[in-house]
Amino acid sequence: MLTERHLQIFVALAEEQHFGDAARVVGITQPPLSQGLRRLEALVGAKLFERGSTGVELTAAGAALLPFARRALTSIEELHQAAVARDPEGPEIRLGLAPEVPPAAGAAVAAACGAAVPGSRVTVVSAPTSSLTSQVSSGRLTLAVVLHPTVLDGLDAGPVQLLPTWALAPSGSAADAVVELKKLGGLPVAVRPRAEAPAARDLFLDTLAMLRPAGGTVVVTDERAALAMAAAGQAIVMTADPSLAAPGVERYQLAGDPLPTRLRLVWARTPFELDVIAQLTDALVTG
């Protein structure tokens, strides 16, 4: 079956003339890109690209079919926009949440979206900040709660909200419930991959390195893995989630809250009145 992804691969390869660059544009790695191209070539029954000495070049068949692929992609985008514009069942609000948004805060924002627009249907996805901002830009998401700072590139954004952020460390890591970050030494701090939000992650790492010269970091896929590593006595978790807990793991308040989780709402076309944005922002911090 021919999919939107096949068309994206076709157009990206034609424009970038390089497998790695095209994969980056589509937002996938190179193996699925090559695989997608092979499927597409099988589906249309023609070879679309030749591997030349300097890169990838369109074949005659590829050049002939490229305009159709472009047109089809434009039509799919128009379909998305038309669906948003006139939905018979009331407007759909597609909300994106960064993984750093505490579950209760994310739930409060989603609930506030539903309450703000009567008759609306709210759908929610979780994705890293860099993915959310591009989905909001392309119109796939109505709005998202993302980590700050991040490159916004023309998106509108609400005020920066600071969520207090605790350290979860193996029990007995410190004597007091309120602790200087520097005193929480020894174990590495669990951090999610940098590419998910380069600017916010660098700010976190730079602040951490300034306040805590030793101990280092360890990269984890998500908070679940981070908590498990803390339980195993292998890592410290920084979280804005007030309810995250596990046996053998203690919650410490960091003196001066030096590593707050900075969040903000972003949207491309004003979906709500400004007072609704204010309500959603309130939900984020009070939820």
Partner 1 sequence: MNARIRATFADAGVRGWLHAVALDAPESTVDIDADTVVPMASVYKLPLLVGFCRLVDEGELDPRERLTLDPSTRTPGPTGVSLMADPVTMSLRDLAVSMMAVSDNAAADALLDVVGLDRLAELLQSFGLQQTWVRRGTAANLVDLQRRTGMDDPDAALAVLADNNRTTPTGVYEAANASATTPSDMTLLLRRLWTGELLSAAQTDFAKATMRRQIFQHRLASGFPHDSIRVAGKTGTFGALRHEVGVVTLPAGDAYAVAVFTLTARSDWRQPRADATIGLAAQLAVNLLR
Asked if 124 interacts with partner 1 (CB under 8 A), we say no
Candidate list 2, 83, 162, 245; residue touching partner 1; CB under 8 A: 162
Strand partners, 162: 262
Candidate list 130, 165, 239, 261; residue touching partner 1; CB under 8 A: 130
Candidate list 48, 108, 200, 244; residue touching partner 1; CB under 8 A: 200
Q: How far is the CB of 273 from partner 1 (least distance, A)?
A: 17
Asked if 150 interacts with partner 1 (CB under 8 A), we say yes
**Residues in 5-24 that interact with partner 1 by CB under 8 A:** 16-18, 21-22, 24
**Residues in 231-260 that interact with partner 1 by CB under 8 A:** 260
Asked if 279 interacts with partner 1 (CB under 8 A), we say no
Q: How far is the CB of 206 from partner 1 (least distance, A)?
A: 8
Candidate list 125, 199, 231, 276; residue touching partner 1; CB under 8 A: 199
Candidate list 6, 94, 212, 262; residue touching partner 1; CB under 8 A: 262
Q: Contact residues for partner 1 (CB under 8 A)?
A: 16-18, 21-22, 24-25, 130, 148-153, 157, 159-160, 162, 195, 198-200, 202-203, 260, 262, 264
